[in-house]
Amino acid sequence: MFESAEIGHKLSKVEYEAQEPILRIKLLEVQEELKNASFPVIILIGGVDGAGKGETVNLIHEWIDPHYLETHAFGSASDEERERPEAWRFWRVLPPKGRIGILFGSWYTRPIIDRVYGKTKNTDLDVDLMRINAFEKALVDDGALIIKFWFHLSKEAQSARLKLLMKNPETRWRVTDLDWQHFKLYDKFRLISERALRTTSTGEAPWLVIEGQDKRYRSITVGNYILDLISKRLATEHSRTVKISTSPVKAENPYTILDTLNLEQSLSEEDYKRLLEKYQGRLNLLYRQAKQLGRSVILVFEGWDAAGKGGIIRRVTSALDARDYQVIPIAAPTDEERSHHYLWRFWRHIPRAGRVTIFDRSWYGRVLVERGEGFASEAEWMRAYAEIVNFEQQLHEHSTLILKFWIHIDADEQLRRFQLRQETPYKHYKITDEDFRNRAKWNDYELAANEMIERTGTEFAPWYTIAANDKKFARIEVVKTLCDRLKKSL
């Protein structure tokens, strides 16, 4: 993989000076066009120490309008980062559409370094790399252009370069002890990097290996790659425009798993009060244990309009201290959210250790309302199932407890509640004509919900379907389920 990056590519000063001004102009031109494009450009910078990564990034900063360019370097994680899944620190700095983000050190650094230092085995590395492939695929599927540069130097070249930097007092600071430490591990690093690059050179996001020895060569090469790849991506912009699904959900067989729920289940007022007190007390004790262990809890509530999600959530939160939880209602995204991958707005709200975050509607909107209304294309919502499972798996592996509730009522009960809302003054604001119109799509949504439950119900993040024609029954079910799950997992 690195052979062709050790043959001593060079560019003469004359050639460089002939090419550079043209490259600059063209880069500025594509960047202008990019500003209005519907995708971000993510440039990853990795490779051997001393191969000119920093200089090249500085040069890109000189070439490109810094107004639409941001560089992020990743040192050791902050406590806010450590308390969340590893990917969180990357999600928080991904560039929005129309911009270029350079990531200096990236999701590759930790897996490669851990393997080089023997903290992990090849199988661990491979799992990390598979994850990376899934992550990059999700970004690319969403439109992102990912350009991955690996700066390479042969062992001899690296040694020579480090020595040269050391000689000059002006540049000596660039060489750290860590650089020499890495150098001693050069052969191992090379072998493992090669494995990593091979596994993650996907069709969507291939690696570009850059010979780092000659500054002029590597600068022009990197510049040309960026120019070429952005230009090509811009050219396909039109054809990639999201296609609205031509075959929206059709309820062929409207009998679903949800229909197997016994909606007749109910509780007397007396039992309800008794059980609520019992389970809220239990929940309180259990969530405080989880808090002390630093374990976060994420609750997802989905379900029909007027199914009673709000009332259920309040029965959960009233057992918690207001300091410890956050209810995140999911409505229309802000423009910052719209300019990122659809999962970005949820990553934003991932709780720190020991907190409870309750999503009133969630990322499942992608496979429910966005599917139902044609806001997401069939390809988009189809791949969302895997993206979501992947997302939840990362949370789970960070020892976050995830519970997903589908709050279920039947169409008659919904109608009854809509009418009641119209009559109750302080609930009146909750109901619009739109709500009544949506009822026509009941069967389609039921099918979508059913498919969602089937495709995203996992051992680590199961769906709980809650019969909610009787509000009291549903509330107890949810609080009780949460208690059971907490107890089992502590």
Which residues of the shown chain bind a copy of itself in the complex (CB under 8 A)?
Answer: 21, 24-25, 28-29, 32, 54, 57-58, 61-62, 65-71, 73, 75, 78-80, 102, 104, 170, 173-174, 281, 284-285, 288, 310, 313-314, 317-318, 321-324, 326-327, 329, 331, 334-336, 352, 360, 425-426, 429
Q: Least distance from C-beta 347 to a copy of itself, angstroms?
A: 16
Indicate the residue type of 448: A
The residue assigned the tokens 């090669």 is 194
Q: Least distance from C-beta 131 to a copy of itself, angstroms?
A: 25
Identity of the residue, 33 or 141, whose beta carbon is nearer to a copy of itself in the bound complex: 33
Indicate the residue type of 94: L
Q: Least distance from C-beta 268 to a copy of itself, angstroms?
A: 22
DSSP assignment letter at 402: E
Q: Least distance from C-beta 282 to a copy of itself, angstroms?
A: 10
Q: Least distance from C-beta 353 to a copy of itself, angstroms?
A: 11
Identity of the residue, 28 or 411, whose beta carbon is nearer to a copy of itself in the bound complex: 28
Please give the backbone phi and psi of residue 406, each rounded to the nearest 5 degrees, phi first.
Answer: -105, 115
Indicate the Cα dihedral angle 353, 453, 468, 366, nearest 10°.
70
DSSP assignment letter at 441: G
Q: Least distance from C-beta 313 to a copy of itself, angstroms?
A: 7
Identity of the residue, 27 or 129, whose beta carbon is nearer to a copy of itself in the bound complex: 27
Identity of the residue, 87 or 447, whose beta carbon is nearer to a copy of itself in the bound complex: 87
Q: Least distance from C-beta 147 to a copy of itself, angstroms?
A: 16
Identity of the residue, 170 or 187, whose beta carbon is nearer to a copy of itself in the bound complex: 170
Q: 3-class SS at 2?
A: coil
Identity of the residue, 53 or 137, whose beta carbon is nearer to a copy of itself in the bound complex: 53
Whether the Cβ atoms of residue 197 and residue 4 lie closer than 8 Å to each other? no
d(CA 191, CA 369): 47
User: Which ranges of 318-374 does DSSP label H, i.e. alpha helix?
Assistant: 335-338, 344-347, 369-372
Indicate the residue type of 232: K
Identity of the residue, 58 or 241, whose beta carbon is nearer to a copy of itself in the bound complex: 58
Own/partner pairs for 439-442, CB < 8 Å, 24+ apart?
Answer: 439/411, 439/414, 439/415, 441/372, 442/411
